[in-house]
């Protein structure tokens, strides 16, 4: 069996890869592993379970709840809420475990299971590995030890989770949003009620699109992966800005009043300067991945903000933030983590903080985002090559060095083996798009000949 846990929980096609049996078995295994690790010592354990609106989330939630309760864990079922809301409630309610059922920005047929440890933090890799090991051990025959009588877990619907989470979002905002008109694209996902409610309570005039989930339409032509509808709606309604989430609302991308996209790098730049001004930018540092636009790095250098770069993936950003005590980090895709107020990327919080900065400064979002110039970025995927030799090929190293000399300080080359496919990604940035395309094409040819 291949590793079940990826970088963001267990994910696959619901009822094909991710079955009710798997969801139930993993939940029982998680309960046993956490008990074994001492997480439940001396008290009756509690778990918070939430989901996004996917149709498959209904039966998968039932399986997870059944698995946990059968293992003696009391369950607080919070219903349809964003991933960061489940993480927050896990911490705020003092629960021992959080479980979110979502496949984030993936298409509707997919679903996923993500576990949170006490405090709302991602489970450590070694605990995920142990859960897999224990699950497999019992799947192939070894019976579980099961509580009976009063030892079985009890299941309660925790309807207060919605208000508790929204109140938390409002409480951490630096200022109100009165006088601001904003369009919210909820991707027919988990934030369809939460985000409009939070923005309205904060004083904004709110127009919503993509906020009518029916279980089948999540991420369909809308949300942070499809900004066309939001761009048109912002211009049509004469709004100050637009905010787009993905299906589980851990991401946020934005649109300015003219309908131009504001990506995660630009959002990070705006928030970094806002937090520095407020004295809350820990270590005067922001954490981003190596895929961040070179324009972001140059802007932070110019503004005197330190930049720490990690491997691609919000988990690596979070690891670096925790290891060094930094408070702000994120990805170009819109995963933004503000550790003072959230344990994971929170798209609604990010959108609120961005909107608050617009109100506080009296400047437009386009003006604020202008702190960085996005340099043209060309990405070429080279398939069917031996990606394991990227670091060892002398021919490739020479070609990269030549390209870097040609681009100078206003350009950048990044070769990255895919984590899941037999291909190498060639990324080139340059001040001029034609130069970026030319260099990327040349490097892609070298990758084919050297690694093919």
What does the pLDDT read at residue 333? 92
| Residue 391's pLDDT band (cuts 50, 70, 90) | confident
| Residue 422's pLDDT band (cuts 50, 70, 90) | confident
Contacts of 116 (CB under 8 A, 6+ apart): 48, 86, 87, 90, 97, 98, 99, 100, 122, 123, 343
Q: Is 263 annotated as a binding residue?
A: no
273 with 144, same domain?
no
| Single residue among 113, 128, 162 that ends a domain in this structure | 162
Q: Is residue 169 part of a domain?
A: no
70 with 183, same domain?
no
Residue 1 above 60 pLDDT?
A: no
pLDDT digits (tens, 9 = 90+) for 231-250: 999 999 999 999 999 999 99
- Nearest-angstrom CA–CA distance, 250 and 220: 17
pLDDT digits (tens, 9 = 90+) for 75-121: 999 999 999 999 999 999 999 999 999 999 999 999 999 999 999 99
Query: Residue 5 forms beta bridges with which residues?
Result: 10
- Nearest-angstrom CA–CA distance, 248 and 161: 16
Q: Is 96 annotated as a binding residue?
A: no
Please state, for a pLDDT cut of 70, what percent of the chain lies above it. Answer: 99
Is 104 designated active site? yes
100 with 207, same domain?
no
Question: What's the order of all strands across the beta sheet hosting 285-289?
Answer: 306-310, 285-289, 328-330, 336-338
Q: What is the pTM of this model?
A: 0.92
| 8 Å CB contact between 310 and 289 | yes
What does the pLDDT read at residue 420? 65
Q: Is residue 168 part of a domain?
A: no
* Selected catalytic residue, list 102, 104, 224, 393: 104
Take residue 257 and report the two structure tokens written for it: 């009043």
What does the pLDDT read at residue 139? 86
184 with 145, same domain?
no
Q: Is residue 220 part of a domain?
A: yes
Q: Is residue 172 part of a domain?
A: no
The residue with greater pLDDT, 412 or 232, is 232
Residue 182 above 50 pLDDT?
A: yes
- Nearest-angstrom CA–CA distance, 112 and 19: 10
Q: Is residue 332 part of a domain?
A: yes
Q: Is 104 annotated as a binding residue?
A: yes
Averaged pLDDT, 59-69: 98
138 with 189, same domain?
no
CA end-to-end span of the chain, whole Å?
29
Residue 265 above 90 pLDDT?
A: yes
- Nearest-angstrom CA–CA distance, 399 and 447: 9
Report the largest interatomic distance among the alpha carbons of the chain, rounded to a whole angstrom. 73
- Nearest-angstrom CA–CA distance, 447 and 431: 23
Averaged pLDDT, 246-272: 97
What does the pLDDT read at residue 283? 97
What does the pLDDT read at residue 315? 86
Q: Is residue 410 part of a domain?
A: yes
- Nearest-angstrom CA–CA distance, 439 and 404: 9
Q: Is 157 annotated as a binding residue?
A: no
Averaged pLDDT, 15-42: 95
What does the pLDDT read at residue 345? 95
pLDDT digits (tens, 9 = 90+) for 427-446: 999 989 999 999 999 999 99
Q: Which domain holds residue 397?
A: 377-451
Q: Is residue 243 part of a domain?
A: yes
Domain total in the chain? 3
């Amino acid at each position: 069996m291949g590793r079940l846990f990826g970088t963001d929980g267990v994910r696959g096609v619901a009822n094909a890869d991710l079955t009710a049996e798997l969801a139930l078995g993993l939940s029982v295994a998680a309960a046993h592993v956490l008990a074994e690790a001492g997480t439940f010592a001396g008290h009756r354990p509690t778990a918070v379970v939430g989901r996004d609106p996917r149709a498959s989330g209904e039966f998968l939630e039932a399986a997870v709840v059944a698995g946990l309760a059968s293992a003696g864990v009391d369950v607080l079922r919070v219903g349809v809420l964003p991933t960061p809301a489940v993480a927050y409630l896990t911490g705020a309610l003092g629960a021992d475990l959080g479980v979110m059922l979502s496949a984030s920005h993936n298409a509707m047929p997919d679903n996923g299971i993500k576990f949170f440890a006490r405090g709302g933090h991602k489970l450590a890799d070694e605990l995920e590995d142990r859960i897999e090991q224990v699950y497999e051990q019992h799947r192939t025959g070894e019976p579980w030890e099961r509580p009976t009588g009063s030892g079985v877990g009890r299941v309660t619907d925790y309807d207060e989770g919605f208000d508790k989470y929204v109140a938390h979002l409002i409480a951490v905002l630096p200022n109100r949003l009165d006088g601001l008109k904003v369009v919210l694209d909820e991707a027919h996902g988990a934030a369809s009620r939460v985000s409009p409610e939070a923005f309205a309570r904060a004083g904004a005039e709110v127009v919503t699109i993509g906020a009518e989930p029916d279980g089948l339409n999540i991420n369909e032509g809308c949300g942070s992966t499809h900004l066309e509808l939001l761009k048109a709606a912002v211009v049509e309604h004469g709004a100050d800005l637009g905010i787009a989430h993905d299906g589980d609302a851990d991401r946020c991308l934005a649109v300015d009043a003219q309908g131009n996209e504001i990506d995660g790098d630009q959002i990070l730049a705006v928030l970094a300067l806002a937090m520095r001004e407020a004295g809350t930018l820990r270590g005067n540092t922001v954490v981003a991945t190596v895929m961040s636009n070179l324009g972001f790095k140059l802007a932070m250098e110019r503004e005197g903000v330190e930049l720490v770069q990690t491997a691609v993936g919000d988990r690596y950003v979070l690891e670096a933030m925790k290891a060094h005590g930094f408070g702000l980090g994120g990805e170009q895709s819109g995963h933004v983590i503000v550790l003072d107020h959230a344990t994971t990327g929170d798209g609604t919080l990010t959108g609120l903080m961005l909107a608050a900065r617009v109100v506080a400064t009296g400047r437009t979002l386009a003006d604020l985002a202008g702190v960085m110039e996005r340099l043209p970025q060309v990405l070429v995927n080279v398939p069917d090559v031996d990606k394991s030799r990227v670091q060892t090929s002398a021919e490739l190293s020479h070609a990269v060095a030549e390209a870097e000399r040609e681009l100078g300080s206003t350009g950048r080359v990044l070769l990255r083996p895919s984590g899941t496919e037999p291909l190498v990604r060639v990324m080139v940035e340059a001040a001029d798009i034609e130069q970026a395309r030319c260099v990327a094409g040349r490097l892609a040819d070298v990758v084919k000949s050297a690694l093919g």
